[in-house]
Amino acid sequence: MTESQPRTQPSLRVDLAEATTRLAAAGVESPRADAEQLAAYVLGISRSRLVLADWQDGARDQFLALLARRELREPLQHIVGSTGFRYLELLVGPGVFIPRPETESLVEWAISAIRPDGRPLIVDLCTGSGAIALSLAYELPRAIVHAVERDSDALVWTRRNIESIGVPVALHQLDITGDVAAALPDLAGRVDLVISNPPYVPADETVEPEVGDHDPQIALWAGADGLDLVRAVERVARGLLRPGGLVVVEHSDRHGETAPAVFRGWDEVADHRDLAGRDRFVTARMPLTKQRGSSTGQ
């Protein structure tokens, strides 16, 4: 190129190929998809329209800046500020756990297990962004949905999402290792469904940088066997559910046998796989003769 010729910037296609190589080298699991999502985000278009697009104005510089953040393994969802969960787009960022696709299966199970004509009373324990509670309130408009969360930083995001989605969810700041049934006296013994994706990473497990460095620690770790919070959910569910009520709890793929064992004494205890075929959540029904207050689980 001579000095008098105008400089041309690389095309979007060339930059996407280069970005994919850089993200792959950084260990990102889905480098092409992430590069495309960043480009679509800065251009304000859907990924499927990238094939017809090219850089405009300052979009390339913005893309390169965001790419550098992703290369350092900052989660894509934090960079773009939101994530999809079932029918909803939820706001996420530092301080709140990013909802995962596998959790959508619990919501699917709950919706199919609940009578569509009723007015079910539902409690989501460990709600984080509110993904489960808001999806249930959105997809079951007759349901009465309560959500429980301990962490003040997470609650900032729960409130933002309740506001932005605009469906009714009653939010309670509570520690589920405490006496939640006593803290919610109007609900004790009356709830139709308790649902939870609690922290469940065992202490000895190694997690990806996106998880360990960016999801809140309180959202991840759950004791030596990873079941501390599953046990807390079982105890709280026993206090909240009506006889015949249902509980559904997500667990790690290492817990396909140990999580159901926590629900000893319950009826219809079953474990379920996610769409990737991994053991993912346990469901159980409160016996019609309820053993309130006694530990049926351990």
Ligand X SMILES: C[S@@+](CC[C@H](N)C(=O)[O-])C[C@H]1O[C@@H](n2cnc3c(N)ncnc32)[C@H](O)[C@@H]1O
- Binding residues (CB under 6 A) for ligand X: these are 97, 99, 103, 126-129, 131-132, 148-151, 154, 175-177, 197-199, 216, 218-219, 229
User: Of 22 and 150, which has the nearer Cβ to ligand X?
Assistant: 150
C-alpha distances in Å from residue 37, one per residue of 10, 136, 188: 18, 27, 45
The C-alpha atoms of residue 174 and residue 157 are separated, in whole angstroms, by 16
User: Of 31 and 239, which has the nearer Cβ to ligand X?
Assistant: 239
User: Of 133 and 284, which has the nearer Cβ to ligand X?
Assistant: 133
Quick check: is 216 catalytic? no
User: Of 37 and 197, which has the nearer Cβ to ligand X?
Assistant: 197
Quick check: is 161 catalytic? no
Beta strands in the chain, from DSSP E residues, in sequence order:
82-85, 88-91, 121-125, 144-149, 170-173, 191-196, 241-250, 267-273, 279-285
**Of the listed 75, 120, 197, 263, which one is catalytic?**
197
The three-state secondary structure class of 108 is: helix
Shortest separation between residue 147's beta carbon and ligand X, angstroms: 9
Question: Nearest CA to 194 among 227, 149, 233, 220?
Answer: 233
**Of the listed 31, 75, 120, 198, which one is catalytic?**
198
Query: What are 83's strand-pairing partners?
Result: 90
- Phi and psi dihedrals of 32, rounded to 5? -65, -45
Residue 271 CA neighbour count, 13 Å, CB half: 19
Asked if 250 and 281 touch (Cβ cutoff 8 Å), the reply is: yes
The three-state secondary structure class of 157 is: helix
What is the DSSP code (8-state) at residue 121? Answer: E
Question: Nearest CA to 19 among 33, 7, 6, 9?
Answer: 33
Shortest separation between residue 150's beta carbon and ligand X, angstroms: 3
User: Of 79 and 218, which has the nearer Cβ to ligand X?
Assistant: 218
**DSSP codes of every residue in 66-91:** HHHHHHTT--HHHHHTEEEETTEEEE
The C-alpha atoms of residue 16 and residue 10 are separated, in whole angstroms, by 10
Shortest separation between residue 22's beta carbon and ligand X, angstroms: 29
Shortest separation between residue 101's beta carbon and ligand X, angstroms: 11
**Of the listed 31, 75, 85, 97, which one is catalytic?**
97
Shortest separation between residue 235's beta carbon and ligand X, angstroms: 12
Shortest separation between residue 109's beta carbon and ligand X, angstroms: 14
Asked if 90 and 134 touch (Cβ cutoff 8 Å), the reply is: yes
User: Of 100 and 290, which has the nearer Cβ to ligand X?
Assistant: 100
Quick check: is 197 catalytic? yes
Catalytic residues: 97, 197-198
